[in-house]
A and B are shown apart, each in its own frame.
Chain A
Amino acid sequence: MAMMAEAETARASVTRIEVRAADGVGDPRGAALRARIAAAGLGVPTRVAHVAVYLIRGLDDAAVADRVARELLADPVTQRASVTAAEAPGTGAGARGGAGAAHRDGGTTARATCAVEVHPRPGVMDPAAESVRAAIAALTGADVEVRTGDRYEFDGMDAVAARAAVESLVANTVIHAVHDGAYHPADFVRGTPYQLRIREVKLMGLRDAELEKLSREAHLFLSLDEMRAVQAEYARLGREPREIELETIAQTWSEHCVHKTLKATVRYRPSGPDALVAATAEMRPGHEPQADGSVIIRNLLKSTVAAATHELIGRSPMLPGPGVDTQAKPIDWCLSVFSDNSGVIAFDESDAVCIKVETHNHPSAIEPYGGAATGIGGCIRDVIGTGRGAKPIAATDVFCVAHPVGTRVPRGCLPPSRVLPHVVAGVRDYGNRMGIPTLSGSVWFDDRYIGNPLVYCGCIGMMPRTHVKGQVLDGDVIVAVGGRTGRDGIHGATFSSAELTDTHADEFSHAVQIGNAITEKTLLDAILVMRDEAGGCLYRGLTDCGAGGFSSAVGEMGSEIGAEVHLERAPTKYDGLSPTEVWISEAQERMVLAVPPAALARVRAICADHGVECCELGTFGTPSREIILRWHGTEVGRLDCSFLHGGIPMPTRDAAWEPLWAREHSGLAGAVAEGGEIPRVGAAESIADALRALLSHPNIASKAWIIRQYDHEVQGTSVVKPLVGPGAGGPGDASVIAPKAGSVRGVGIACGLATGLAADPYVMGLAAIDECVRNLVCTGVDPSRIAILDNFCWPSCGDPRNLASLVRAAEACYDGAKAYRTPFVSGKDSLNNQFVAEGGRVIRIPPTLLITGMGIVSDVTRCVTMDAKGASSGDATVLVIVGETGMHLGGSHWSLVAGIDRDASLPMPRVDLERGPAVAAAVAKAIRSGFVRSAHDPSEGGLLVAAAEMAFAGGCGLRIDLRKVPLTRVARAAAELAHGGSGHAGASGGAGGATGVHTRAVAFAEDPSRYLLEVRERDLPGLRDALGDVPHATIGRFDDTGELVIDGGSAPERIGIDALRAAWESSWQA
């Protein structure tokens, strides 16, 4: 049944039902809004009440309406319903009131001073409305249409202020209409039936400027070269393209779908003598040094990220490089890399795990809740749509946002204090409803994300190894399953590839999508039943409808054999969709299956059981490998797969590395925040004060307010949770799950993000890989079984300087993956993250490379957490640092809180590719041997922050001596030079001066490849054997004093662990 009903119900009217809390029950939602209004300084209402509003069309029988209100919509104990019939909206005369209903409307109520209502705009997905519709049908047999809304009633606040508060804190006018007083329409806005018109687009004879204009105005976002290629193809065919064909090409060729920048040929020009790309070009695949000093890189992605994997798995010969073991046996546990919707590795003999991480930045900038929810929803479908179907077992999320307080918000941007809570709510509501534990993540704050917040969503799935690959055959039926098609998200793929401007929110509101997690959950349930059918999997392949909708799903699955599609067969949300809209709609929660005809009946039955809609859209396989599109039999489009997938011109792109410009535009920029959000500490203040400031820095401080909103326990698999220690008061390094019932084998998940080092993305990339590996190793993951993913979010790569920085990050991926033997198995990029504010000012995000890692734990009962265990049964424990400290303060959080982050003389830490993997292997061995009581990696904030976290997370005291920290050779020499002392850190005497700086550098430098381990004193000899020649030292001792004592400065400093925990818990939260 179409939601928009046909003629026979056309005269039905709309009934309005309000449900409010009964007296004395409490109204947390109203109270929460009241508190938020006060906190935002928007007023001080004496009371705010939340009222749920249901608008129901076709509920004309008063008795039935009352029953629906009483039995379905309101709780008899705690709520009161009132029904207003359609005859007299706004007058109150039609109120058939439930008990206690006090409402009369027209802008005011009997009790409230004023009321403001928020309703979804027509055509915007309203998941609750769909549930209510189905429930009314099931309970009363009535065939109705439903819309839901929210009403807020205010006392002690005038209507103008109330509306302003709702618009600023609750509604997003991109998807919501805000009404003063009761909204009670006479009827719903509806579509009109579509009349077929086949529109041709004139390309013949167009000049370059006209092609560009067409591309821009039709929102195709194709470059001039690409427009010319399309023009040439249709000139060859001797006809004009039809609209649907042009749209399909634009979708398929979008940056989002084809990654044309990362796959392009790049000419990289170094600045002066270059120790990286140019100097090592001979040792890099696909790199061709040129006489002029530049380097041509053929297919950047294939020559860097993917090349590392191919060498590691033995698909191409292992080239030598720093830290590379050319003799090592090829990795045999990668089962599917870069070819499917997610990357797949072996879990054990019978099962595999797969992982995908996506970004959903542009939609989240405009509608954070819907953007984040559909981001995680799409990533989950990627996992479901891998091979012949995987079951999602975990989700991850990483956000990069501007500081919520004190940031100037340019026109066209949402305030960050709203973006962050709303993206969190979006991930929460989708992940929790899907029943997938969201258990790993991070948040990075930088004001340059103001116009382009980054929302990374990851998903991990599990599947039998027999289902890792699917194959579509000629004659398979194209079955679309899941949600209905609407105008949602039309142009999502092309839009995500474009630069945002201050008018984008208006122009592209139709690109915004709202998710319906329950539709996706039922779809998942049905697909797993089909996959695990006793007689064998019922379909041969599947994929999700992501960017580009059916056009990309069917196009990809049929890229080798073609497909014939009958677009009118797709169930739609409402009338009036054109064939083009059906074909490119990005409506959520849809997937496409390739079903052999014999299995169709069973597929239909399973869908019916689960309440999942399915339709047979067409057939795979056409005689000449074409995509043929029909509407009620009439051909509306015909596309040649070879042109669609191989016709995109790949011009050589210019990359020019300018280190000074990069430092200026990409390096740390804490100073951008104008408010008092970032804690500050003067260079002369004590180490303890600096430590406290660092713990409360938003990047480091507790994210418990976010983490606790996610159900990270669902499925009952969690072993190491995101927060660890008594009272869950410490930040875990990686999360571990044991996904298979009855098996102690586990999967660890973590990420690495080193945006502080973005001034040189090569350095940043290596640091991110190192951090990701350390996080995993700290919990007990086997470092020889780690797969990683790359997610590049960059400012516009049309600018050669940005493209050069991307090249350098990609080279880091190649070098890092080979040295650590961590193959990339999947990845994604988003390469246009800059915002053009009013007046043309360009706000570029810092180049951001997220490395996500997934590793295997052979026995989860041996996992380790970061909370210090302290003395138990008389065994004292000590703190051991593994790895050397280089005292590099460049890019560190200490440089931010000390206000010296722009100081170009501060050296940046750099991963030693020989040393890093060796340290990781040694620590893993120590953990495996059972010597390690707790382990933590010093990353953001440095080793003293990490040591403090271990202490307060475990409720232990700690005395630490910074002079005992082993230094690198260079740092040792510098320390000796500074005060002619011993080769250890900090050394003796003298407040401030060189010694003070050195002590701080030891405490707070974010040098890579270091681990803090808590070890029983009696286990030290065993630990020493396990670590071999890897540098390490005992630098502290845990106790029960409740204090952190820091030795190594001019005098011992003391600070209570409660004060440290309080600092860590003090950051902004929504």
Chain B
Amino acid sequence: MGTHELKALVITAPGINCDGELAHAFEAAGARAERVLLSALARDPSRIARADLIGLPGGFSFGDDIAAGRIMGALMRREVYPALRDAAARGVPMICPCNGFQIAVQAGLLPGPAGAARSNGAVGVKGTAGSTVPMGAAWPDEAAPASVALLQNQRARFVDRWTRVEIPSGTVCVWTHGLDCEAPDDMLPSAHGEGRFFTDAATMARLEAGGQIALRYSRDENFNGSMGAVAGICDPSGVIFGLMPHPERWTRWTQHPTWTRLSADQRQREPLGLRMFRQAVQWARTRELAPAARVPAAARG
């Protein structure tokens, strides 16, 4: 129906190094990706307003000195938080893998505003699991202080490995909601030194109740010691998705660690990483076509 090409904005900065594969993942899912330096974005935040999707890639922003994502988070808080907050309120899907997750947490973008969603009468949509997704939750004017953290892995060392993952059935995350990851080869790669999810009990309870836990490591695969085996979370509206694994690194089946063992049938199935991007692109397209009547991303299959 002649829709225009969706634009995915991939934000880079000194030390960001997964921007290439993130851009490719957006393109494989049908969007057009554009990479932009944070310094350029700070000069012209309106580029965020024109984006249909946003990616905050992994890497070692500013060397991950002090702590992972700390400096980049502090800069984003100052320079682009309002524009990103507005994008989230508009329902623009944003993915933040690995360092992106660490940055989003430090920049006050995740886990996002607490509690205010329903009281301010925001539009809610019905998720397939029956949860109500609060849209346009009230983001504070100033970035909130971090309320969750990604700490050093429990063995205090960088680890590269693929793990099985689970998607909580009640999640409101537009990236993962309803995706099937039951097959044994539905895995995701992780590569980080600081990925141990941590928060206080009250915040954890709120995230659980609000469907904001978007991804967990499967049982026995919680290699970094994350609280509740949490691998990824989203904001209350489900559009901003932060996760330690790298779905952008599994968009072709030859990237899978045991692809030489997969049958022809198994190779027919789209990789889990690509399915996440497709679902978000689909969401963005739907949002654009009918901004007033947002529908949840349909679970495929």
Chain A window 710-744, contacts with chain B (Cβ cutoff 8 Å), 1 for yes, 0 for no: 11111110111100111010000000001001001
Interface string of B158-183 (1 = CB under 8 A from A): 11111000000000000000000000
Q: Is the CB of A428 within 8 A of B158?
A: yes
Given contacts A25-B151, A711-B158, contact A738 B254 (CB under 8 A): yes
Contact A716 B156 (CB under 8 A): no
**Min CB gap A529→B, angstroms:** 10
A75 to B71, CA, bound (A): 11
A28 touches B152 (CB 8 A): yes
Given A435-B18, A867-B261, decide whether A610 and B254 contact each other with a Cβ distance below 8 A.
Answer: no
Instruction: Name the interface size band of chain A.
Output: 35 or more
| A71-B74, A131-B65 known; A77-B148 Cβ under 8 A | yes
Chain B residues, Cβ within 8 Å of A128: 63, 65-66
Asked if B15 contacts A521 (CB within 8 A), the reply is: yes
Q: Choose among B65, B160, B198, B258 the residue that contacts A711 (Cβ–Cβ < 8 A).
A: B160
Give Cα A432–Cα B15 distance, bound, in whole angstroms: 10
CB distance from B242 to the nearest CB of A (A): 15
Please tell me which one of the listed residues B25, B37, B71, B158 contacts residue A609 in the complex, with CB atoms under 8 A apart: B37
> In the complex, which of the residues B62, B106, B146 has the most CB atoms of chain A within 10 Å of its own CB atom?
B62
Q: Is the CB of B14 within 8 A of A713?
A: no
Q: Which residue of A lies closest to B61 (CB)?
A: A518
Q: In the assembled complex, how far is the CB of residue B32 from the closest CB belonging to chain A, in whole angstroms?
A: 14
The listed residue with most A CB atoms (<10 A of its CB), out of B25, B148, B153, B160, is: B160
Give the residues in chain A near B160, CB-CB below 8 Å. 707-713
Contact A517 B60 (CB under 8 A): yes
A521 to B149, CA, bound (A): 26
Chain A positions 693-707 with a Cβ under 8 Å from a chain B Cβ: 707
Instruction: For A872, list chain B residues within 8 Å (CB).
Output: 263
Cα–Cα, bound, A428→B18 (Å):
16
Hey, which chain B residues are within 8 Å of A954, CB to CB?
261
Q: Does any Cβ of A come within 8 Å of B235's Cβ?
A: no
| A139 in contact (CB, < 8 A) | yes
Residues A76 and B146 in contact in the complex (CB < 8 Å), given A714-B18, A716-B249? yes
Interface status of A865 (Cβ within 8 A of chain B): yes
Rounded to whole Å, the gap between the CB of B110 and the closest CB of chain A is 12
Question: Is A878 among interface residues, defined by CB-CB distance under 8 A?
Answer: no
Q: A28-B154, A138-B75, A434-B17 are in contact. Are A714 and B191 (CB under 8 A)?
A: yes
Are B70 and A72 in contact (CB-based, < 8 A)? yes
Is B100 located at the chain interface by the 8 A CB criterion? no
Q: Does B268 contact A (CB under 8 A)?
A: no
Check B17 against A25 for contact (C-beta < 8 Å). no
Q: Are A32 and B74 in contact (CB under 8 A)?
A: no
Q: How far is the CB of A1048 from chain B (nearest CB, A)?
A: 29
Is B294 in the interface zone, CB < 8 Å from A?
A: no
What's the least CB distance linking A857 to chain B, in Å? 11
Verify B74–A26 contact, CB threshold 8 A.
no
A517 touches B63 (CB 8 A): yes
Instruction: Say yes or no: A716 contacts B251, CB within 8 Å.
Output: yes
Contact A713 B249 (CB under 8 A): yes
Contacts of A176 in B (CB 8 A): none
Inter-chain contact B260/A864, CB cutoff 8 Å: yes
Question: Which residue on A lies nearest to B37, using beta carbons?
Answer: A609
Considering the complex, which residues of chain A in the window 662-711 have a beta carbon less than 8 Å from any beta carbon of chain B?
Answer: 707-711
> Is A308 in the interface zone, CB < 8 Å from B?
no
- Residue picked from B78, B161, B249, B258, most chain A C-beta under 10 Å: B258
B-side interface residues, number (CB < 8 Å): 62
Q: Specify which chain A residues have a CB less than 8 angstroms from the CB of B78 in the assembled complex.
A: 138-139
| CB <8 Å contact, B74 and A719 | no
Indicate if the CB atoms of B249 and A609 lie closer than 8 Å. no
Complex contact A521–B17 (CB within 8 A): yes
Given known contacts A29-B156, A77-B198, A709-B160, is B74 in contact with A861 (CB within 8 Å)?
Answer: no
Given contacts A26-B151, A135-B62, A521-B17, contact A708 B159 (CB under 8 A): yes
Give chain B nearest CB distance to A525 CB in angstroms: 8
Task: Give the docked Cα–Cα distance between A818 and B78 (Å).
Answer: 61
Complex formed: what's the CA distance from A714 to B155 in Å? Answer: 21
| Chain A: minimal CB distance from B108 (Å) | 11
Q: Specify the chain B residue showing the minimal Cβ separation from A522.
A: B14
Give Cα distance in the complex from A531 to B43, angstroms.
24
**Contacts known (A28-B154, A724-B257); A127 close to B65, Cβ less than 8 A:** yes
A203-252 interface (Cβ within 8 A of B): none
**A267 within 8 Å of B by Cβ?**
no
Contact of A713 among B67, B75, B151, B189 (CB under 8 A): B189
Docked pose: A635 CA to B41 CA in angstroms: 45
Q: Give chain A residues whose Cβ lies under 8 Å from the Cβ of B260.
A: 720, 724, 863-865, 867, 869, 934
Across the interface, do B24 and A77 meet the contact criterion of CB distance under 8 Å?
no
Tell me the complex Cα distance, A139–B77, Å.
10
CB 8 Å contact bits of B79-119 with A (1 = contact, 0 = none): 00000000000000000000000000010000000000000
Q: Which residue of B lies closest to A718 (CB)?
A: B255
Give bound CA distance, A867 to B14, whole Å.
39
In the complex, chain B residues whose CB is within 8 Å of the CB of A720: 260
- A72-B66, A708-B159 known; A715+B198 contact, CB < 8 A: no
Contact B255 A75 (CB under 8 A): no
Given contacts A131-B66, A724-B257, contact A611 B14 (CB under 8 A): yes
**Within 8 Å of chain B (Cβ to Cβ): is A638?**
no
Nearest CB of B to A864, in Å? 6
CB distance from A149 to the nearest CB of B (A): 13
Whether, in the assembled complex, A134 has its beta carbon less than 8 Å from a beta carbon of chain B, the answer is: yes
Q: A711-B191, A864-B260, A865-B260 are in contact. List 14 more A-B contacts (CB 8 A).
A: A25-B149, A28-B152, A28-B155, A52-B66, A75-B146, A77-B200, A78-B149, A78-B151, A132-B65, A522-B15, A713-B246, A716-B18, A726-B261, A738-B254
Which B residues contact A (CB, under 8 angstroms)? 12, 14-15, 17-18, 20-21, 24-25, 37, 39-40, 58-60, 62-67, 70-71, 74-75, 78, 106, 145-149, 151-162, 189, 191, 196, 198-200, 246, 248-249, 251-252, 254-255, 257-258, 260-261, 263
What are 11 A-B contacts with C-beta separation under 8 Å?
A: A435-B17, A435-B59, A518-B14, A521-B60, A525-B14, A609-B39, A714-B17, A714-B249, A719-B255, A724-B257, A724-B260
Which A-B residue pairs are the 8 nearest by beta carbons? A435-B17, A716-B21, A28-B156, A131-B65, A128-B65, A711-B191, A32-B156, A518-B63
